[in-house]
Chains A and B, each alone.
Chain A
């Protein structure tokens, strides 16, 4: 037999292994193990829902309330401005403008 024929025969024999493939023997404990895994997971989920979920919800509520309180209390620094003169007065204080500079704006 020539070399090519020999190689082809080896390939054929190897591909025949598809038909000779062994099956896994039945595993009688498969379902029991699966059920144990599912039960374990359910327990962990219960722990999450009984302990962690309320803690998470309470933390979120506290954070929200804290943010709301902080926002309301910091509102004291916000000015209500009705006239141009009041605006200039506040700006001149913030920007440390001289009287001459203020006059420039008031004359516009």
Chain B
């Protein structure tokens, strides 16, 4: 009984110390705070279930972020499948509900609007990247992980991460350039 209580206290401590970064990491992938919270819950349920199987080959936090990345990517894959299905359904006359991404306001309404639009364009461009480039750039640019930490989370070598981030930046630039070229 005492042992179980101790376990729960340890787990609570772990959740409280990592939840912020896990929730934000999920948010960068799914761009919706409610979905991010749901995925973060799933992440910690998996952590709770597999904590006894955790081998100290990597840091505990690295392992948790790896689960968060995988769960977020799974969520996006499922969402894409659903979207394709909904498109198919819409061919037969049903309309798909459009989802509005909600970002917190920061002050000047005109600036907010511009930032919101830019953020949406950036999210679109990031979303178009292959999964491994997307993961590397999200962890690097949004969450401020260094390349070594990203290599641990993604289970890749340091040079592979450097190459992924380089390619991701180049692809993002190209996509955004094409987008704004069309707008001008």
Contacts and interface: CB of A to CB of B under 8 A. Distances in A.
A78 interface: no
Interface in A35-60: 37-38, 41
Interface string A4-26: 00111011011101101111111
Contact of A15 (B12, B172, B184): B172
B37 A22 contact: no
B104 interface: yes
B36 A17 contact: no
Q: How large is the interface on A (under 10, 10 to 19, 20 to 34, 35 or more residues)?
A: 20 to 34
B172 A20 contact: no
Interface residues of B, number: 36
Contacts of A41: 45
B19 interface: yes
Nearest to B48: A38
B141 interface: yes
Nearest to B37: A27
B141 A24 contact: no
A33 interface: yes
A49 B27 CA distance: 36
Contact of B118 (A6, A14, A31, A34): A14
A77 B146 CA distance: 76
Given A15-B173, A30-B37, A30-B41, 7 more contacts: A13-B118, A14-B125, A15-B172, A15-B176, A24-B27, A31-B12, A38-B48
Interface of B: 12, 15-16, 19-20, 23-24, 27-28, 33, 36-37, 40-41, 44-45, 48, 103-104, 106, 115, 118-119, 121-122, 125, 141-142, 172-173, 176-177, 180-181, 183-184
18 contacts: A7-B180, A7-B184, A10-B180, A11-B176, A14-B125, A15-B122, A20-B115, A22-B106, A23-B20, A23-B24, A24-B24, A24-B33, A24-B36, A27-B37, A30-B40, A31-B15, A34-B45, A37-B45
